[in-house]
Amino acid sequence: MIPISIPLKNEELFKLAMRHRSATEDSLRDSYERLEFFGDSVLGLVIAEYLYSHHADWDQGMMSKARSSVVQEGPLAETAQKLGLDSCLEISSSEEATGGRSRPSILCDIFEAVVGAIYIESGLEKARWFVLEQLHPYLMQISAGDVSPNDHKSRLQEVAQALWRRTPTYRVARESGMSHERRFTVQVVFDNEVMGEGSGRSKKEAEQSAAKDALDVIERAQRARQMVYEEMNERS
């Protein structure tokens, strides 16, 4: 059954948008991959048009950063989960066993596939309405001035320079998946020590994920040091 929040009537089209390649014998014809490719383009167009119309004082670079902040795995996966698409996903038992139903990359893909399906059934106007309604919180965040809320690489560089006067480096640890759905795993390194690791559908996305992981490690270490310092002060 199509969730009430999804403006689709065609059950078969919705099922196609929810069907992972692992649940098919013919992934080209029966999985969401072609729909996801199409929906990704529609999504990019809608967000680019919104930014162009609503932020006349932003240059190309600013609009590009803002679009990247919205049209990326994290926000799209979160939105898919809020819509309940994870419970509609059709995957193989082996994919299910490895956490495929909650995997951000897959959730991101099915959101884009739904956008593509809405466009195919009803056209651009309804697809635009759906995208802008569902991604409204993220659009409001960037409109308030937080243009790159997920730019963890820049934040990590600032923190590293302040703490150690050093700049992190990034290296690709692994590549996996078929050519049309590559996954990259990247490590962020300080003086040959791995501080964080992350994955994504592109090297840039994986680097942002690795930087966030490193920031989390640094934050936990700082909290631990602060707790020790406070305990020592209480004893003295």
Q: Which residues are identified as catalytic?
A: 40, 112
Taking phi over 0 as left and psi of -120 to 50 as alpha, with beta for the rest, 192 belongs to: left
d(CA 209, CA 104): 12
Q: What are phi and psi of 234, to 5 degrees?
A: -65, -35
Instruction: Name 157's Cβ contacts closer than 8 Å, sequence gap at least 6.
Output: 167, 168
DSSP 151-168: -HHHHHHHHHHHHHS---
- Residue 206 has a CB neighbour count (10 Å cut-off) of 26
* Residue 174 tokens, joined: 């692994």
Q: Is 100 exposed, middle or buried (0-12, 13-18, 19+ CB in 10 A)?
A: buried
Find tokens 């020592």 and name the residue: 232
